[in-house]
Structures are given as C-alpha cells and as structure tokens.
Amino acid sequence: MPLSRRDFVNRSALTGAGVLIAGSADVLATAPGAIAAPEGGHAAAGATTALGYGPLVADPAGILALPEGFRYEIITHSGKTELETGQTTPSNHDGTATFPAHGGGTLLVNNHEISGTLAAAAAPVPHLDGHVYDPAAAGGCTVVEVRKHGGRVREWVGIAGTATNCAGGRTPWGTWLTCEETEVKAGESGMTKDHGYVFEVDPYDRAANRDPEPVKALGRYAHEAVVVDEQRGHVYLTEDAAGPNGLLYRWTPPHGFHHGSGRLRTLAADAGVLEAFKVFDRHGKFVDDLSRATSIGTVYGVDWVKVPDRDARTTSVRKQFKDGEVTRSRKLEGMWWGDGGFYFVASFARTESPVQHDGQVWFYNPARRTITLKVLLGVNADVWADHGNFDGPDNITVSPYGGLVIAEDGEGVSHLFGTTDDGRTFPIARNELNIGTAEKPEYSEFTGVTFSVDGDTLFANIQTPGIMLAITGRWNRKGGGHHHHG
C-alpha cells in the first residue's frame, strides 16, 4: 500500500524521518568535509587515501591512473578499433550495460551520444541495413563482446539513425533501453523523423533490432536514464534539461500488460500513464526543486502528476506544468536499480537552481513512495585537486561490493569514484588523456560505468574520443562492504 501524504506527515512527526529509511539505502553520504569545508576543499585530503583502494598511480601511457594492483585494458577506441563490418568504432561513448555472453564472456551495449546529421559526424554509428531509424541521424548503439578474461571478440551495430544516445538502462529481461537526449523534430537540424524517444536494443537477438521503432508510450523529451521495477511493472526515467529544469517520470503500464523482450515497442503511443513527480517534505509542504535539500538523510514523500501531452507536439513536456505542479531538478542524470528501489543523480546545480551544489544522489523507495538524499557534494572550489574533491556525478552503478560507483562529469580533473557503506567517497580512477593543450588541459567525462555480471571487471568509458576500458583488480579486498542484493 503506497504511503499517502497524510501518513507520511504523521509518521514523520511521530518518529522523525529516520523510520522511512530502510535497509542498506541509508549507508551513503557526502564526500568527507565537502560540505564542511567548501572554500579550500582540503578537508578530505588525508582521509581519502585510507579509503577504497589507495592512492591513484599515474599511467605512463597517459590514459588511466588506477590504484596499485589494478590494471586496465582498452576494449574499443573510436577511430582505431573496428566493427565486424569493417568500419571503425563510433565516437562519444556514453551509457553502457553488461549482459552474460554465451560461453562465459560479457556482452556490452554501448551508447554513442552523437548529435547532428550523419553527413556532419566524424565517426557516426554506421547505418547498417535494416537497423536504421532516421537515415539522417548519426547516433545509436553498438554491441561489444568481450572474453571472460579480457580481450575483445567483436563489435557490431545494435541500432543506428538515432540522435544523442545518452544513457538508458538495462531491463530485467535482458535488453537495453537506449535514451535520446534531445527534442529535435522532423524538419529541424536536418532530421527526417522526430527524436527524443527510448528504443529497445537486444544484445542477443540481432533480428529483434531490425526496423527500430521508438517506444512512444514513454514520452518524447531529453531523456537521460531509465530503470524498470520488475515487481510492479513501472518504468522510471530521468530528464536532463534546463530552462525550466527537468523532471523525473514514472510510466505505469496498461492493465494486463506483461514486460518482456520487444513488448514495449508493440504498445500504442498513448498506452499506460506517464507522470512526473511532485515531492513534499515531512510537514506536507511542496518542494519545488531537489536542490532545496541540503542535508544527508533528507526524506521527501512523492506524488505523481499526469503528463498532459507526452509526445510534446507543441510544448516540451517539462513546460506543460505550471509552477507548483511538479518538482524540478537540474541535470537529472544516471539511475540504477538496487536495494529494492533505484538510485538517481541530480548532477549539479548552478544559478538555474534555488540552491547551488555539485551533485546529489537520491534513493527512491517504491514501496514507501519516498526519496532519501544519500550523497551530497558541496560546491567544489578546487576542480583541479586530486584528493577527493568530486563534482558533477553522472552515470552511476550499484557496486556488487556495497555502495555506488559514480562517473564524474564535472570541471577540471575527471574521476571514477566510489562511495563506501559508511558514506565516504574515494577515487577509483582518473582520466589522464588530455584532449586540450598543455597550457589549457581538458579531460573528457567518464561514462557508462558498469560491472561485469560476475563482478570481476568494472567497465567504463572516456567519452571523448570514445574509449571503452575494462578495469580489473582486487575489488573487494579493501574498498568492499557487504554484498548488495539488488
């Protein structure tokens, strides 16, 4: 039975909000000292080396700094590695998920966040006959097969002719939902079809990926990520947009619908119900923007408000609501299912948000219909520091060893970082591939962070130029906590 607003307020008043935090969802918190010492940001300096796997060791090859005893392997490299059809790997690696390959290896579906036209793209997703949605668009997904103990077997096109494939999500039935982070329509920017949809890609069944059709029931907007609640059937989606800030959505399937591979695409465009979230504090007061939460453990109750026109024929979905009708957040990014609910990221808040921060991670509990603030990164005053100042969390995954692993898309230095079960953060990897100049260095964001099914390998991408990396080492030796059962 979902928690009603009145129940939520009454229980919060009686016992404090703590009663609503369940299971291992209450273990994560802020970077040490990040809130307490935002000016210099040095409060974390000594602390981080004692956590996780130790300090990062510079890479002589200038690609990836890792803790001692860890190693990486390049799986794909845009412009260098080849697809089985002979073209080179596309650019702009983004959201990724892993699937068990027959014979013990790993299959990865890898988004390529390429906007603009096929003609203009330097390294587009090649248009494979029968797998193209819009002949004008350059984005899409590839599928990569990796052997159990490393080594790429092959890479092929899963879907092509889509636009700005950002994140997405793995489904419980073993497919990938790829999300377009755009709202461009047919006739705009050289496109011949409408974009801003979710598409399903099957890593096992190439025939299932032919004649791609968008899942229009999930709405048309600047999609970021998606998770599926297998038990209840809901699909949750984030929107990365500003002016006004984006929304978190829930899609409820129509009565009698059962999930499974390829079933979403058979739905009518208006099937089920698409809603946006609206949250309230423990006094029952509406909260307009998630940035209002400034302390770890903040719990909000959640209501859902129906989207008027999910295909956004004349007005962007997020602009169809008046002030006071929905809760917004800047840069709603990665999501990952685990611990009976899902974690989702509000990446950073600047002047377009009521309160500034450098990143939040929330946990949504569907049984209680509450969200709890788990990670809060204070404004990072020293973006070039390398001692635990993290900013701009983006793609996330729930670690099989406890806590989360987060890909950083912030300013300055770029990291993969972890959160321990007692709520502190620690670096796992640093991008050392300078795509700027010696005078003005620039380091691309990390994306697509995800573990192999056996937990032995952490895969992650450097978005520019587009490199997929497999990281191995003593995962549970020092950084580990308990095992998650998500």
Q: What is the reported pLDDT for 392?
A: 74
On whether residue 482 sits in a domain, the answer given is: no
What total number of domains does the chain contain? 1
Looking at the predicted structure, is the pLDDT value of residue 218 above 90?
A: yes
Q: Kind of pairing, strands 273-280 and 299-306?
A: antiparallel
Q: What is the pLDDT of residue 4?
A: 61
> Average of pLDDT values for 464-477?
91
Q: How confident is the model at residue 47 (pLDDT cuts 50, 70, 90)?
A: very low
Give me the phi and psi of 319, to 5 degrees please.
-90, 0
Q: Which of 9-23, 46-60, 391-405, 435-449 has the lowest mean pLDDT?
A: 9-23
In-domain check, residue 273:
yes
- Which pLDDT score is estimated for 335? 96
Note if the bond before 90 is cis, omega within 30 degrees: no
Q: Does a structural domain hold residue 178? A: yes
Nearest of 279, 251, 361, 373 to residue 8 by alpha carbon:
279
The pLDDT value given to residue 350: 82
The whole-number pLDDT of residue 391 equals 74
Judge contact between 12 and 298, C-beta under 8 A. Answer: no
Percent of the chain at pLDDT exceeding 90:
74
Under the banding of pLDDT at 50, 70 and 90, the label for residue 388 is low
Q: Quick one: pLDDT at residue 20?
A: 29
Distance CA 140, CA 160 (A): 4
- Tell me: the pLDDT tens digits for 283-310? 999 999 999 999 989 999 999 999 999 9
Instruction: Identify whether 486 is part of a domain.
Output: no
Of 359, 362, 361, which Cα lies nearest the Cα of 347? 359
Q: What is residue 50's predicted lDDT score, i.e. its pLDDT? A: 61
Output 449 or 424, whichever has higher pLDDT.
Answer: 449
Longest dimension (CA), the chain: 65
485 found inside a domain: no
Residue 477 lies inside a defined structural domain of this protein? no
Q: What is the pLDDT of residues 96-137, one digit of tens each?
A: 999 999 989 999 999 999 999 999 999 999 999 999 999 999
Tell me, yes or no, whether 479 lies in a domain. Answer: no
CA–chain centroid gap for 215, Å, is 19
Yes or no: say if 66 and 72 are a contact pair by the CB < 8 Å rule. yes
Would the pTM of this model clear 0.75, i.e. be above it?
Answer: yes
Radius of gyration of the chain (CA): 21
Which residue bears the tokens 């845009």? 78
**Residue 40, pLDDT score:** 32
Place 39 in a pLDDT band, splitting at 50, 70 and 90: very low
Percentage of the chain surpassing pLDDT 70?
A: 86
Cα 258 to chain centroid distance, Å, stands at 25
Contacts of 93 (CB under 8 A, 6+ apart): 76, 78, 110, 111, 112, 113, 447, 448, 461, 462, 463, 466, 467, 468
Q: Could you tell me if 394 and 445 are in contact, meaning their C-beta atoms sit under 8 angstroms apart?
A: yes
The answer to whether residue 478 is domain-embedded is no
The owner of tokens 């390959």 is: 101
Residue range 344-369: mean pLDDT, rounded: 90
The enclosing domain of 457 has a CATH number of 2.120.10.30
Domain that holds residue 197: 5-472
pLDDT mean across residues, the chain:
87
